[in-house]
Amino acid sequence: MFLSPGDPIVFPDPSEFDQEGLVAVGGDLSSERLIAAYQAGIFPWYSEGCVPMWWSPDPRGHFTAEDLHVSRSLTKVMRRGAFELTWNQNFAAVMAACGEQRGGGTWIIPEMLEAYTALHRQGRAHSLEVWADGELAAGAYGVQVGGFFAAESKFHRRTDMSKVALVALVRSLSRAGIELMDVQFVTEHLRSLGAQEIDRREYLRRLSVVRNAEIDLRDLTPAV
């Protein structure tokens, strides 16, 4: 599907596309279009200088608190507690930092930062921050739709702190009632931490069940 800015906010059924999952090209990053995309199991992903590209690959990666793998060494790091966790305290800084650590370019381009910061102001996008010695040591951010959370990216500036951020994110969201936590693709790093793959059809079925749940994450208190 080819979209123009201002077109009606409609996306095709992702299940009708191939495994690569490119379902639409063009349009804009308005808050309404972004939320409609996530509700349909679709996310934007493209480089600076390109038009928006909208994806729903098959399979999809996700985390559950039950499958989360926490090593002994990471458990020791968390028990020492030489860090502080906050929620929604510095969304723009977290998102910008996620873009800084991507070799070979990043999809976190200025228009993405502006669009997701707008979602954050509306209470639809959230960030988790990990602080050490008063500095932002790691963090993660994502988009919420009901009982669904799309974890977009994470970063770290100190050893093990991005893993702390991930553990805190998965466990805190689970306790808050989030039933489907999407990570788009399962990399070897995420697989080592317990990420699982599900086929797109099952992913879309689960999303349809949880996306209308009434869950407010704005005042979540993160913890490992």
Residue 65 has pLDDT above 90, yes or no: yes
| CATH, residue 27 | 3.30.70.3550
Other CB atoms within a 10 A radius of the CB of residue 20 amount to 10
**DSSP class of residue 50?**
S
Domain around 29: 2-58
Between strands 125-132 and 84-87, the pairing is: antiparallel
Summarize the confidence of residues 182-205 as an average pLDDT.
96
Q: Residues 6 or more apart from 107 whose CB is under 8 A from it? A: 44, 45, 46, 47, 99
The reply to whether 136 and 35 lie within a common domain is no
The reply to whether 13 and 124 lie within a common domain is no
- What pTM was computed for the model? 0.95
The reply to whether 68 and 54 lie within a common domain is no
The reply to whether 72 and 174 lie within a common domain is yes
CA separation for the pair 63, 163 (Å, rounded) = 13
In the prediction, which pLDDT does 124 show?
97
**Residues 68-89: tens digit of each pLDDT:** 999 999 999 999 999 999 999 9
The reply to whether 80 and 134 lie within a common domain is yes
Contact 62, 194 (CB under 8 A): no
Average pLDDT value over all residues in the chain: 95
At 181, phi and psi to the nearest 5? -115, 110
In the prediction, which pLDDT does 6 show?
81
Count of structural domains within the chain: 2
Contact 120, 142 (CB under 8 A): no
The reply to whether 20 and 94 lie within a common domain is no
In the prediction, which pLDDT does 130 show?
98
Helix runs in the chain, H state only: 31-39, 72-80, 91-100, 110-121, 161-176, 188-192, 200-210
Does residue 223 form part of some domain?
Answer: no
